[in-house]
Every structure is written in C-alpha cells, then in structure tokens.
C-alpha cells in the first residue's frame, strides 16, 4: 500500500523527513520464516523445490548496556520436493545469542561463528522420521538461520558508514556500506579460500506502507552482482569447488514506531558451477526466496 492509498498527500509524504534509525522497542518479537529453494538446470528447467520453515522468537537485549539479543527456534521443518514435511527435533528450543557490538566486520564472534550461531548444531541432523539429512540440506538449514540476520541488518543503522539512517525522505537512495565488501565464508563445510564478494549494494526508501495496521517504511534492497567461491571436501579424496554469480533484490518493511522488521521478501538468483578436480560436474540456477513475517504471540503459538 503506497502513501497515496493511505490517505497521505503524495507531495506532503515525500517532503516529510522520517527517522528510520530511532530507538527500537524492547518487547519480544515472533517471526515465521520460509526459505524456498527452487533449483533449475543450466537450461532453466525446474529440477526440484525445497521449502524450509522456521518459527523464531527474538528477545531483545539492551544495546546501550551492551546486552545481546536472544534468539530461540520453536520449530523447524523441511519439505524436500514432493516429499512429506518433516521436523528437526534437535532444533526445537535451540537458542543462541547475538551481540552486534562484539561482532567483527565479517559479523563473526570471537569463536569465528557467523552472527554467533554455532554451526556444530547443524551437523548430522536427524529428521522426525529418524532419517539423517544430507550434508547439503543441513547446510541450507544452517543458512536459514543466518539469512535472518544477513537481511534484516540492512534495516539497522550503521554508526560509521552509509546505512538506513541516511534515508530521510521517500525517494532517497544510497550505496550501502556493504557494497563491494569481500568476506570469508565461515564454517566446517566451506574450505580454505571460500569467499563471498558483494556487488554494488543499494538501499532505497521506496514508499510508505502498512503491515497488520502498523505504519512501515518500504526499503528496496539490491545487492548488485555478487560473486562467490566455496571449495569443500564431502569425503576424502572427493574435493569439490562451487563458484557462482548471484543477484538479490527485495523489499523490507520497517515498522516506523517499533523499528523492527515487520515483513521482508527477497529473491536470490544464482548461476553455479561445481567442479571436481577442475572438471565441471554440475551446473545449476537456484533461486532462493526468503519471506520473514512478524506475527502475534497467539498466531505464533498456533503455528
């Protein structure tokens, strides 16, 4: 819903200044996350679609007192292709803390964990039927957790760089501080030399809108063209290397009062090549759609 639809004169809305970096509310937040991974062949033919669903609770810490935010997974499920939806029992109640003030520029904590999330939690996952999940599915489950932080952080101010705090009026657009940054891909799956390099990341104050009656700023996110490389060893002596080119675009709905993300929808499109000892063994075009939706506690408890 745009500014005109909300009964706000277009010119007045565009001239008004908004503070998108104000103090955030401290109440507990509840989110439904869905990550849909549609894998296409190099010719563009759909091969499979997997869906990962998570229910996430966020209990904010007082950042002025250098407190961490606490995150708890209430439920996680996976649906692979046409198969049944299964849950992952070991992730029910899994909790971790994120202290943004103690993370380095690559968002790693002092143990080298991305956003403070212990990757060991996602090794050798067993689903609710007793089946062990393949390593690539386990890594995608892990990715779902850090996706939440990697995307929602664009709605947070950056004290020493270009961030959301510089968007004052509808139509304002910046090249974000994350543009062209290159970071090491952490974790036990990623081999030495794994990296991700952003393209020209831009953030735009596109319009005003509402989500469940809450006034929001609509922020347009565009990562530009990103490149990445990830060597890995599945089992000795099998050494694989996957490289890719990615683009990502989406919208973030930032609550103008609470300063929390009410809704986020992004689409990450990739072209990947996997090689074994330098010979291409797979080419694909995965498309990952992430949807984050804030819900009430009542709706959250109902699933």
- The lowest-confidence range among 50-54, 105-109, 167-171, 211-215 is 105-109
pLDDT at residue 292 above 50? Answer: yes
pLDDT at residue 3 above 70? Answer: no
Measured CA distances, 117 to 4, 129, 288 (Å): 42, 26, 21
In the block, residue with structure tokens 């563009």: 44
Dihedral sign, Cα of residue 84, residue 90, residue 92, residue 96:
negative
Pull the structure tokens for residue 21: 């970096």
Measured CA distances, 72 to 55, 69, 97, 270 (Å): 8, 10, 9, 30
d(CA 230, CA 269): 17
pLDDT at residue 192 above 70? Answer: yes
At residue 244 the predicted structure's pLDDT band, cuts being 50, 70 and 90, is confident
Tens-digit pLDDT profile for residues 65-104: 889 999 999 999 999 999 999 999 999 999 999 998 888 8
Closest CA to 276 of 243, 303, 251: 243
pLDDT of residue 4: 47
Q: How many CA atoms lie within 13 A of 116 on its CB side?
A: 16
Q: Report the chain's mean pLDDT, rounded to a whole number.
A: 89
pLDDT of residue 189: 62
Q: What is the CB neighbour count within 10 angstroms for residue 182?
A: 12
pLDDT at residue 203 above 80? Answer: yes
In this prediction, residues 183-201 reach a mean pLDDT of: 78
Tens-digit pLDDT profile for residues 147-161: 999 999 999 998 888
Tell me the pTM. 0.88
pLDDT of residue 188: 62
- Summary count for the chain: helices (H), strands (E): 3, 13
d(CA 165, CA 19): 7
Residue 32 exposed, middle or buried by CB count within 10 Å (0-12, 13-18, 19+): middle
In the block, residue with structure tokens 């509840």: 30
In this prediction, residues 286-290 reach a mean pLDDT of: 95
In this prediction, residues 254-267 reach a mean pLDDT of: 97
pLDDT of residue 284: 86
Measured CA distances, 213 to 210, 225, 256 (Å): 6, 35, 12
């Amino acid at each position: 819903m745009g500014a005109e639809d909300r009964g706000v004169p277009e010119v007045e809305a565009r001239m008004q200044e908004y503070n998108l970096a104000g103090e955030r509310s401290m109440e507990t937040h509840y989110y439904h996350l869905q990550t849909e991974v549609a894998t296409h062949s190099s010719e563009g033919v759909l091969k499979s679609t997997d869906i990962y669903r998570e229910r996430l609770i966020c209990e904010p810490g007082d950042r002025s007192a250098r407190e961490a935010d606490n995150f708890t997974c209430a439920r996680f499920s996976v649906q692979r292709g046409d198969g049944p939806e299964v849950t992952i029992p070991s992730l029910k109640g899994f909790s971790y803390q994120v202290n943004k003030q103690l993370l380095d520029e690559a968002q790693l904590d002092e143990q080298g964990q991305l956003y403070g999330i212990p990757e060991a939690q996602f090794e050798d996952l067993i689903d609710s039927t007793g089946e062990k999940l393949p390593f690539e599915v386990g890594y995608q489950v892990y990715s779902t957790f850090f996706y939440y932080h990697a995307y929602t952080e664009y709605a947070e101010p950056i004290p020493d760089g270009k961030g959301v705090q510089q968007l004052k009026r509808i139509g304002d657009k910046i090249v974000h501080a994350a543009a062209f940054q290159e970071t090491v891909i952490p974790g036990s799956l990623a081999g030495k030399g794994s990296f991700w390099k952003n393209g020209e990341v831009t953030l735009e104050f596109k319009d005003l809108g509402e989500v469940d009656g809450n006034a929001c700023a609509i922020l347009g996110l565009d990562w530009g063209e990103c490149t990445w490389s990830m060597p890995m060893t599945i089992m000795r002596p099998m050494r694989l290397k996957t490289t890719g080119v990615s683009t990502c675009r989406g919208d973030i709905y930032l609550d103008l009062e609470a300063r929390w993300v009410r809704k986020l929808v992004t689409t990450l499109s990739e072209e990947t090549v996997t090689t074994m000892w330098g010979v291409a063994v797979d080419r694909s075009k995965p498309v990952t759609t992430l949807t984050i939706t804030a819900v009430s506690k009542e709706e959250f408890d109902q699933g």
